[in-house]
């Protein structure tokens, strides 16, 4: 298969590309290498990927419609996995235009390319952030997601709606994956595992929001990648039982599907910090703070739909995942 992966220098993009190349697929990866977080880390990920003979990297911004169209015209992709996006909940409070440019305009460009240069399947990254004010636990794809509490979450909800319209109008098979707190080696520096580990080792206070009462459905990167590839291979078709009178939010008469992709085992934030302390060999200095704007208190994925459709089976316990992350972190930054 010839696969385009956008956001290839990102955390999930890097790991997904690596596994796809190792299983004899041809991957073209694009990324704009912006400075939202450490560009050197992105370049280090790319350095690993560029050692693979069936990988080709092109520096490209998905918001550049002319260049994206040229890419699709010349490459003739079979599949597209779209990870490229402006990430981060709190960053969206101060920089909303960055999210419009990447998450809305950029995604529209990808959809237009898939319309004009037919592919077999588009898989795109949504987020657990779409659940917003929802308080029904666990989060299920059947639940309403009309009340996001961050602009980042709003753009991801918008992606789902945009994708459905293109799937309906142009018969494009599209799957959206709502990722739940992905962590592991080569992770993002703006996420709590990275921030906590860095502060613990430097003996700086870590900011524990909501006074530590958060629960997060931490999902290890290897489980996420396997689930993503299984979803790529599971091309959606029209749901013949779908009815406008009792509509199912995660399917349609169009070849369109939405899945949660999480570990389905929420972990108390304070226990997660304990695990980090254990494997880093240092105690954390905790600064207990109230809930921040844009944050949700709990995430808990009901991933049964993806499991049923693809055989997705996350099996990395939090203790093992944190140990592997801590080993990588110490080796990458302190060896």
Q: CB pairs under 8 A, 24+ apart, for 198-205?
A: 198/333, 199/284, 199/285, 200/276, 200/277, 200/280, 200/282, 200/283, 200/284, 201/280, 201/282, 201/330, 201/334, 203/282, 203/285, 204/285, 205/285, 205/286, 205/287
pLDDT the model gives residue 299: 86
How far is Cα 259 from Cα 29, in angstroms, rounded to an integer?
Answer: 24
| Mean pLDDT within 328-333 | 96
pLDDT the model gives residue 28: 98
Q: What is the 3-state secondary structure (H, E, C) of 138-184?
A: CECCCCCCCCCCCHHHHHHHHHHHHHHHHHHHHCCCEEEEEECCEEC
pLDDT the model gives residue 169: 98
Two structure tokens written together for 294: 């844009």
Q: What is the pLDDT of residues 62-75, one digit of tens each?
A: 999 999 999 999 99
The yes-or-no answer on residue 152 being catalytic is yes
Selection from 137, 320, 283 nearest residue 215 by Cα: 137
pLDDT the model gives residue 88: 83
Backbone angles phi, psi at 159, to 5 degrees: -55, -40
Q: What is the pLDDT of residues 92-145, one digit of tens each?
A: 888 999 999 999 999 999 999 999 999 999 999 999 999 998 988 899 999 999
DSSP assigned state of 206: E
Residue 82 has pLDDT above 70, yes or no: yes
Whole-number percent of the chain with pLDDT over 90: 84
Selection from 193, 187, 190 nearest residue 221 by Cα: 187
Backbone angles phi, psi at 68, to 5 degrees: -65, -40
Contact call for residues 196 and 276 (beta carbons, < 8 A): yes
CA atoms within 13 A on the CB side of 301: 29
The mean pLDDT of the chain is: 94
pLDDT the model gives residue 327: 97
Q: What is the pLDDT of residues 248-273, one digit of tens each?
A: 889 999 999 999 999 999 999 999 99
Q: What is the pLDDT of residues 8-59, one digit of tens each?
A: 999 999 999 999 999 999 999 999 999 999 999 999 999 999 999 999 999 9
Strand 215-216 to 267-268 pairing: antiparallel
Domain boundaries, the chain: 2-181+219-262+301-314
Residue 294 has pLDDT above 70, yes or no: no
Two structure tokens written together for 103: 């998450």
Residue 323 has pLDDT above 70, yes or no: yes
The highest-level CATH class for domain 2-181+219-262+301-314 is alpha beta
Q: Give the distance, in angstroms, between the CA of residue 333 and the centroid of all CA atoms in the same chain.
A: 24
How far is Cα 260 from Cα 189, in angstroms, rounded to an integer?
Answer: 24
Which residues, in sequence order, are CB contacts of 43 under 8 Å at separation 6+?
A: 9, 33
Contact call for residues 146 and 265 (beta carbons, < 8 A): no
Which residue in the list 36, 99, 152, 179 is annotated as catalytic? 152
| Mean pLDDT within 298-315 | 94
DSSP assigned state of 105: I
- φ/ψ region of 7 (left if φ > 0, alpha if ψ in -120 to 50, else beta) reads left
Q: Global pTM?
A: 0.95
How far is Cα 86 from Cα 101, in angstroms, rounded to an integer?
Answer: 9
């Amino acid at each position: 298969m010839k696969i385009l992966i956008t956001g290839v220098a990102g955390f999930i993009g890097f790991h997904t590309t690596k596994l796809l190349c190792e299983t004899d697929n041809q991957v073209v990866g694009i990324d704009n290498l912006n400075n939202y977080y450490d560009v050197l880390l992105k370049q280090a990920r790319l350095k690993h990927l560029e050692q693979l003979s069936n990988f080709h990297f092109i520096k490209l911004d998905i918001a550049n419609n002319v260049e994206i169209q040229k890419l699709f015209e010349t490459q003739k992709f079979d599949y597209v996995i779209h990870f490229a996006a402006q990430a981060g909940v709190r960053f969206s409070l101060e920089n909303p235009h960055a999210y419009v440019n990447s998450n809305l305009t950029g995604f529209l460009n990808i959809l237009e390319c898939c319309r004009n240069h037919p592919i077999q399947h588009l898989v795109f990254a949504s987020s657990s952030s779409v659940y917003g004010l929802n308080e029904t636990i666990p989060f299920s794809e059947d639940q309403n997601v009309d009340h996001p509490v961050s602009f980042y979450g709003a753009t991801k909800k918008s992606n789902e709606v945009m994708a459905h319209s293109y799937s309906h109008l142009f018969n494009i098979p599209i799957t959206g994956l709502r990722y739940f707190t992905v962590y592991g080696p080569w992770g993002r520096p703006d996420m709590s595992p990275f921030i906590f580990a860095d502060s613990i080792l430097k003996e700086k206070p870590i900011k524990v929001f909501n006074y530590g009462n958060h629960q997060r459905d931490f999902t290890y990167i290897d489980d996420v990648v396997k689930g993503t590839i299984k979803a790529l291979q599971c091309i959606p078709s029209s749901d013949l039982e779908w009815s406008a009178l009792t509509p199912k939010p995660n399917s349609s008469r169009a070849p369109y599907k939405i899945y949660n992709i999480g570990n389905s085992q929420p972990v108390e934030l304070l226990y997660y910090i304990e695990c980090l302390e254990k494997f880093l060999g240092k105690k954390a200095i905790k600064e207990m703070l109230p809930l921040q704007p844009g944050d949700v208190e709990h995430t808990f994925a009901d991933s049964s739909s993806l499991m049923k459709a693809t055989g997705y089976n996350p099996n990395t316990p939090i203790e093992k995942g944190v140990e592997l992350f801590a080993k990588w972190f110490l080796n990458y930054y302190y060896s």
